[in-house]
Amino acid sequence: MTTTTAPTPSPAAPTGTRFVSSADGTRIAYEVHGSGPALVLVDGAMCQRTMGPAAGLAKALAADFTVHVYDRRDRGESGAGATPWSVAREIEDLAAVIDAAGGCAHVFGASSGAALALEAALAGLAIDRLVLYEAPFILDDTHAPNAPDVPQRLQDLVDRGRRGEAVKTFMRMVGLPAPFVGLMRVLPAWETMTGLAHTLTYDLAIVVPHQQGEPLPEGRYAGVAPETLVIAGGKSPQYMRNAQARIAEAVPDARLEILPGQTHMIKPKATCPVVARFLSR
């Protein structure tokens, strides 16, 4: 397991796109905000630097941390990679960003990005402290499980050129109301979302094994070394809150925090003070 000494504070850095090469040569785009100990944000499905919670989180946390926001593989300005996608490749991408941040960093993962961050911690990346916001697991009978073949079904839609249908299927799967799904199709973000449709398979491959309504396997996260904060929204569905509690129990040095009134949609004003307190202890 990699030693996880405290991140070295970095000097204030200008905003702008930078690039780092992952282990397989893929260029990973990132930007840097603020000053202080290094913190890397890991986005979830359908997100990249220009769309999702990372920009708001970076702005709110920049007063206390040198925040690194990156486009995950095959999104935004990052390359698709010369090798086939796998969780291992995504872990290598995160490792490259951590190296660019000084070799050790705090990590904040949101949704499927939280699941990816957990896998990175298991792989021994140089993560000092870890924050997980609602890894979307289904670990009991309070929600119907998702079909194991969902990743392949969405990939089939993308392969047939039905990117919009793939995005709609994903939105319905995560519980978005039909009127909201219909509204999204007329918003400017729809083009970006359909452009990311092929990456849904990646995120689902990470989380679907833990969306079968079964408890986490014994010892599944026993090898996660960093001190960890697991966050759940107080207004999130019961299955989501239950899953975060089980993750917190499974990680050796973890605690659970419920944010009253919050949901899976991250609001920096409610989330960042809790994150900053935990990372600054």
Q: Where along the chain do its domains lie?
A: 18-140+215-280, 150-207
Read off the tokens for 82: 């010369």
Please give the DSSP secondary-structure letter assigned to residue 26.
-
Tokens found for residue 78: 């990052």
The CATH code belonging to domain 18-140+215-280 is: 3.40.50.1820
CB 170 within 8 A of CB 46: yes
Cα 223 to Cα 5, 98, 171, 261: the distances in Å are 17, 20, 33, 32
Tens of each residue's pLDDT in the chain, 281 residues? 333 344 433 334 445 899 999 999 999 999 999 999 999 999 999 999 989 999 999 999 999 999 999 999 999 999 999 899 999 999 999 999 999 999 999 999 999 999 999 999 999 999 999 999 999 999 999 999 999 999 999 999 999 999 999 999 999 998 888 888 888 888 888 999 999 999 999 999 999 999 999 999 999 999 999 999 999 999 999 999 999 999 999 999 999 999 999 999 999 999 999 999 999 98
Q: Which of 262, 132, 148 is CA-nearest to residue 204?
A: 148
Q: Where would I find the beta strands (DSSP E) of the chain?
A: 18-21, 27-33, 38-42, 66-70, 105-110, 127-133, 227-233, 254-259
What is the model's pLDDT at position 12? 41
Write down the pLDDT at residue 185: 82
Please name the helix (run of DSSP H) or strand (run of DSSP E) that holds residue 185, with its range, or none.
none
pLDDT recorded at residue 9: 39
